[in-house]
Amino acid sequence: MNWTWFHKFASPPHAYRLLGTLRPWLFWPAVVLMLWAVYNGLFVAPTDYQQGDSFRIMYVHVPSASLSLMVYSMMAIAAGIGIIWRMKLAHAVAAGCAVIGAWFTVLALVTGAIWGKPMWGAWWAWDPRLTSELILLFLYLGYMALRASYDDVQRADRASGILAVVGIVNVPIVKYSVQWWNSLHQGSSLSLTGSSAIDPSMLPPLLAMMVGFLLFFGAILCDRVRAEILTRERNAGWLSEAA
Amino acid sequence: MSRVTDAPGLWPLASRVLGRELTLAGRHWDQVAQPLLFFVIVVTLFPLATSPDLAQLRQIAPGVVWVAAMLSSLLALESLFRPDVEDGTMEQWVLSEQPLAWMLLMKTAAHWLVSGLPLVILSPLLGTGLGVPVSAWPVLMASLALGTAALSVLGAIGAALTVGVRRGNVLLALLVLPLEVPVLIFGARAVSLGMTGEAVAGPLNLLAAILILAVSLGPMAMAAAIRIGVES
């Protein structure tokens, strides 16, 4: 197999250009999907028989919670690739993932609290799902703190990369906490293989929102990785030629 | 450069590292005693802060002992790798042709012997003060023995990662505590089950599983982190 494309992608100038071209193709579909999903989720989808109108926060809560885990996994995989193949771009991707992932985690926790108040009668419960999501946030913060405490970018990359890889043990704990322990948090309503435990009329906006969030994450990641490349390559020749 | 031909095997190497660490600990026994004293003092604070009533203390006893054990293990970690990195010993270890991961694991084991094991031995005394019945002593000691060993290995990864950072101790807590949460949960759970006379095999098995996982994969992460820490 020819790996030239892979090595080519790892070269900063090429990646910088490629990500710049990719970004609008991710960003504008994301905006369209999210607007469509917001309209359909808030005005078209029927009221839930049990939860009334407050279930509608699901359209923000579920995508952000699932992305908080997905982004962490991606960060850990990117960090692992960076450590194993000494690829600087992979570390830049991991660094870009951290901040976005942390914000998705915060968003999941905040929308969860707002949803929990009318449903459970409490903003917060020391429940496995909630607690492990909070720990996920601490892992993101620890990753960022460790990065920030090294002056040398290369050492920061590798040290924080090891932490990201070690911390991935928490991802299955968050994901399956609802099944492993008796949890106040409801089980998963979505399923890729079987039938979903959610009414078909409520489903399309949720799926659209999830895809929209994913594309939005991709677009923001493009921006952040480009910014990372600019910081790291600030003394490189190709930048002054491109400018 | 000539290769070292009389390289020791794994076990002689282990006994050399253990011997060195224990000798050093014996010479600085005051530093070794500090985390232990800290453990005792933290546990003492709870009856003063909440209520001296034994019935109430008994309810929070598993959590109190476990949180105190975790904090004391965190405190002891600061001196795990830092002195050796500062005086250049660690550099020699990295440069030597011996398996670094194995040496670091043995170093961590020695660290557990002087910081974790005394805590396990002391725990029934403190537990009794908090109203833990004698029947729950074996569970308390078993959970702490498995748990503090796992805390030592997980903490050593964090200590290795922060060894190259100047003021690393607050950062160390931020990195290590989230990773250690499962140990805390299962350890305290085992003790509270043991106090009511229920089956404790589940959480103890999980603690043992965490320990085995940490011991088998942790040293590689430690070695990678130490290599980053000593190069500068």
Domain presence at residue A47: no
Number of other residues whose CB lies within 10 A of the CB of residue A30: 20
- pLDDT tops 70 at residue A194: no
Domain presence at residue A11: no
Q: What is the mean pLDDT of chain B?
A: 89
* Best of B154, B169, B175 to mutate (most A CBs within 10 Å, chain A): B175
Across the range B164-191, mean pLDDT stands at 87
Distance CA B206, CA A173 (A): 13
- pLDDT tops 90 at residue B204: yes
Q: What is the mean pLDDT of chain A?
A: 85
Domain presence at residue A16: no
- pLDDT tops 60 at residue B5: no
**Per-residue pLDDT at A187:** 65
- pLDDT tops 70 at residue A138: yes
Across the range B162-175, mean pLDDT stands at 84
Contact B213, B106 (CB under 8 A): no
**Per-residue pLDDT at B138:** 92
Cβ–Cβ below 8 Å for B181 and A135: yes
Contact A223, A23 (CB under 8 A): yes
Across the range B31-42, mean pLDDT stands at 89
DSSP state of B2: P
Contact B122, B64 (CB under 8 A): no
What backbone torsions phi and psi does residue A52 show, to the nearest 5 degrees?
65, -145
**Per-residue pLDDT at A193:** 55
Distance CA A99, CA A109 (A): 15
**Per-residue pLDDT at A101:** 95
- pLDDT tops 60 at residue A191: no
Domain presence at residue A33: yes
Domain presence at residue A207: yes
Distance CA A170, CA B226 (A): 23
Cβ–Cβ below 8 Å for A146 and B161: yes
Distance CA B74, CA B69 (A): 9
Cβ–Cβ below 8 Å for B178 and A155: no
Written as six digits, the tokens of A211 are: 């895809």
- pLDDT tops 80 at residue B6: no
- A131 interaction partners in chain B (CB closer than 8 Å): 181
**Per-residue pLDDT at B1:** 45
Total domains, chain A: 1
What is the domain extent for residue A36?
A: 23-41+55-190+198-233
Domain presence at residue A208: yes
Is A86 an interface residue toward B (CB < 8 Å)? no
pTM over 0.95: no
**Per-residue pLDDT at A11:** 82
- Confidence band for A188, pLDDT divided at 50, 70 and 90: low
Contact A145, B174 (CB under 8 A): yes
- B231 interaction partners in chain A (CB closer than 8 Å): 155
DSSP helix/strand/coil, A48? strand
Sign of CA dihedral B35, B36, B38, B39: positive
Residue bearing the bigger pLDDT, A196 or B106: B106
CA distances from A205 to A33, A44, A64, A158, B154 (A): 9, 9, 14, 40, 43
- pLDDT tops 90 at residue A122: no
- B225 interaction partners in chain A (CB closer than 8 Å): 159, 162
Digit-coded pLDDT (tens) for B63-114? 999 999 999 999 888 888 988 888 889 999 999 888 999 999 999 999 999 9
Long-range own/partner contacts, residues B1-4 (CB < 8 A, 24 or more apart): B3/B97, B4/B96, B4/B97
Treating both helix axes as pointing N-terminal to C-terminal, what angle do B169-195 and B201-230 enclose, rounded to 10 degrees?
A: 170
Q: Which amino acid is at A224?
A: R
Domain presence at residue A175: yes
**Per-residue pLDDT at A3:** 72
DSSP helix/strand/coil, A117? helix
Alpha carbon of residue A155 to chain centroid? 24
- pLDDT tops 50 at residue B222: yes
Digit-coded pLDDT (tens) for A13-48? 888 888 989 999 999 999 999 999 888 888 887 777
Domain presence at residue A144: yes
Cβ–Cβ below 8 Å for B161 and A149: no
Residue bearing the bigger pLDDT, A171 or A157: A157
Across the range B107-127, mean pLDDT stands at 92
- A145 interaction partners in chain B (CB closer than 8 Å): 171, 174-175
